[in-house]
Amino acid sequence: QSVLTQPPSVSAAPGQKVTISCSGTSTNIGKNYVSWYQLLPGTAPQLLIYDNDRRPSGIPDRFSGSKSGTSATLGITGLQTGDEAAYYCGAWDFSLSAVVFGGGTKVTVL
């Protein structure tokens, strides 16, 4: 049981948009910044978003992040087959004094 809650899967056709929600509490997302990661099988996980809505160098602007209250959202526009992966949100939790992650969301391009 992950501390942060994500939908298990989302899907859309190529070129469309998907959003992935990440729900937490006042001790994690409600107080701290959120980051997002992409996990492709057999490759190193990739940071997509940090500080709720900032993209590292090299991450295309098709990926966006936002936060409101105790929830955060990752958006992917112009969906491509290469975006088929698992996506995880993460944040510091003051109560646990640990980084907590969501359970992951599998994106399928139809």
Partner 1 sequence: QVQLQESGPGLVKPSGTLSLTCGVSGGSISSNNWWTWVRQPPGKGLEWIGEILHSGTTNYHPSLKSRVTISVDKSKNQFSLKLTSVTAADTAVYYCARGRHTAVAGSASIWLQPWGQGTLVSVSS
What residues make contact with partner 1 under the rule CB under 8 A?
Answer: 2, 31-33, 35, 37, 39, 42-47, 50-51, 56, 88, 90-92, 94, 96-104
CB 37 → partner 1: shortest distance, Å? 7
**Cα 104 to Cα 7, 15, 34, 49, distances in angstroms:** 7, 22, 14, 15
CA dihedral 103, 75, 66, 39 (to 10 degrees): 40
CB 47 → partner 1: shortest distance, Å? 4
- Of 43 and 81, the one with the shorter C-beta distance to partner 1 is 43
Residue 99 half-sphere exposure toward CB, CA atoms < 13 A = 8
- Of 37 and 109, the one with the shorter C-beta distance to partner 1 is 37
CB 100 → partner 1: shortest distance, Å? 7
- Of 89 and 109, the one with the shorter C-beta distance to partner 1 is 89
- Of 44 and 110, the one with the shorter C-beta distance to partner 1 is 44
